[in-house]
Amino acid sequence: MPAAFTGLIGYKPTYGPVCRVSRFGLVAYGSSLDQIGPLATSVEDAALMMEVIGQSCERDSTSIPRGSESILPLLGKSISGLRVGVPYHAIESLAEEPKKAFEKGLERLQSLGATVVPIELSMIKYSIPVYYILATAEASTNLARFDGIRYGVRSKQAKSLKEVYRLSKEEGFGAEVKRRILLGTFVLSAGYQDAYYKKAQKVRTLMLNEFEGCFKTCDTIAMPVSPFAAFEADSIKDPIQMYLEDIYTILSNLVGCPSISVPNGFTKEGMPLGFQLLARQHEDARLLSVAHAFHSAGEKCQIPESYR
């Protein structure tokens, strides 16, 4: 989403049972969701970075136990015959400008020889609640270490050990972080873990199965990045409404497949729009190749003066 909002290439690598990019040294928010991927101005640069950072790492037990993929030689190859799956039911409520831009993106892929295939992703409607149950649960556990002693900011007002714990978290965490910690602690508490957390894990498995079924009929999946273009800071006051902005991007985190945001024009106000492509787990090289073809065939949009 940061890439789509700023007209950049944003790549999220494979992360299922094993990860393409080592997470060693990453400050964990949601351990089963966190990824490390490049932001770049071209797909070539993103691919080059992936060849470097996509190495096997002995300090990360989830790291893919083999060397990085050779991606750059695949860039520039034809994508004729590629089957692109589109969940049309999930984009019906898109705003006019993002919807038109997405449709033009599909036309660009078709002009390159790709075939658009309608697919059904019925589980997408559960992605927001599942993500925010799992992510906040993991965050409440991971962020517990920021106690002002081992990690985090230590309050200068604290006069006792109890105040160090209390004031350091009170002063060190912002409102949204506190909100997520409280929600995560709630869904993991006695009497609610089975009702929320374990049920969300089961739905996540159903999502993974649905994606695997879709990839039997298509090679890659196309979706928008966000329902809207970049919005003004603090213009969305309702946290739930803010969470809904993530509906198209969190699916790839939940199922662990690689995904990429490619620039796809601008709105009338000069705000960039992104086009998202997803592939099967471990098909990072192929996805970057498709993204390169899509980006290379696009109009070289100049940033409008209003956006500068």
* Domains of the chain, first to last: 1-117+217-308 (3.90.1300.10), 120-205 (no CATH)
Handedness of CA 172, 177, 179, 181 (dihedral sign): negative
pTM as predicted: 0.89
User: What is the pLDDT at residue 237?
Assistant: 79
By residue count, the chain amounts to: 308
Can you tell me the mean pLDDT for 143-164? 91
HSE, CB side, 13 Å, CA atoms: give it for residue 97.
15
pLDDT of residue 234: 80
For 119-123, 182-186, 246-250, 298-302, which range has the lowest pLDDT when averaged over its residues?
298-302
| Percent above pLDDT 70 for the chain | 97
pLDDT score at 281? 92
Residue 302 is predicted with a pLDDT of: 54
170-184 pLDDT tens trace: 999 999 899 999 999
Question: E strands along the chain, which residues?
Answer: 9-12, 39-40, 83-86, 115-118, 220-224, 259-266, 272-278
The rounded mean pLDDT for the chain is 90
> With bands split at pLDDT 50, 70 and 90, how would you rate the model's confidence at 210?
very high
How would residue 246 be classed by pLDDT, with cut points 50, 70 and 90? Answer: confident
